[in-house]
Amino acid sequence: MISTEKFYFYCGMFRTIKNLLALFTGSPPAASRTDLPETLKLIFSRRSCRSFASGDISPEDIEAILDAGRFAPSTVNLQTWSFITFDRPQWQQTFERPIPFKGAYAVVICADQNRLSELFSDFAETPAINMSFAIFNAGIAAMNMNLAAEALGIQSIMLSETGRTGLLDTAFLVEKLGLPEGVLPLTTLVLGRSTLKLPGIPPRQPRAAVVMPQRYQPECKDMLRDWFDQMFIGFKIGHPLSNFDKQLAFYRKKMLEAEQTVRRYFGR
Choices 11-19, 141-149, 192-200, 236-244 (CB under 8 A): range interacting with a second copy = 141-149
Residue list 57-76, contact with a second copy (CB under 8 A): 60, 63-64, 66-73, 75-76
Among 25, 221, 240, 241, binds a second copy (CB under 8 A): 221
Question: Considering only CA atoms, which of 43, 44, 55, 42 is closest in space to residue 191?
Answer: 55
Positions 20 through 59 that interact with a second copy (CB under 8 A): 28-31, 33, 36-40, 42-44, 46, 48
Query: Interface residues for a second copy in 170-209 (CB under 8 A)?
Result: 177-180, 183-184, 186-187, 201-205, 207, 209
Least separation in angstroms between CB 246 and a second copy: 13
Contact between 101 and a second copy by CB under 8 A: the answer reads no
Q: Is 144 in the site for a second copy (CB under 8 A)?
A: yes
Check residue 125 for interaction with a second copy (CB under 8 A).
Answer: yes
Residues 147-166 that bind a second copy (CB under 8 A): 147-148, 150-152, 158, 160
3-state secondary structure of 12: helix
- Is the CB of 21 or the CB of 42 nearer to a second copy? 42
**Phi, psi (5° rounding) for residue 198?**
-75, 150
Map residue 216 onto helix, strand or coil.
coil
Direct distance between the N- and C-terminal alpha carbons of the chain, in angstroms, rounded to an integer: 63
Look at phi and psi of residue 101 and say left if phi exceeds 0, alpha if psi is from -120 to 50, else beta.
left
Binding of residue 105 to a second copy (CB under 8 A): no
The region that residue 184 occupies, defined by phi over 0 for left and psi between -120 and 50 for alpha, beta otherwise, is beta
CB atoms within 10 A of CB 31: 13
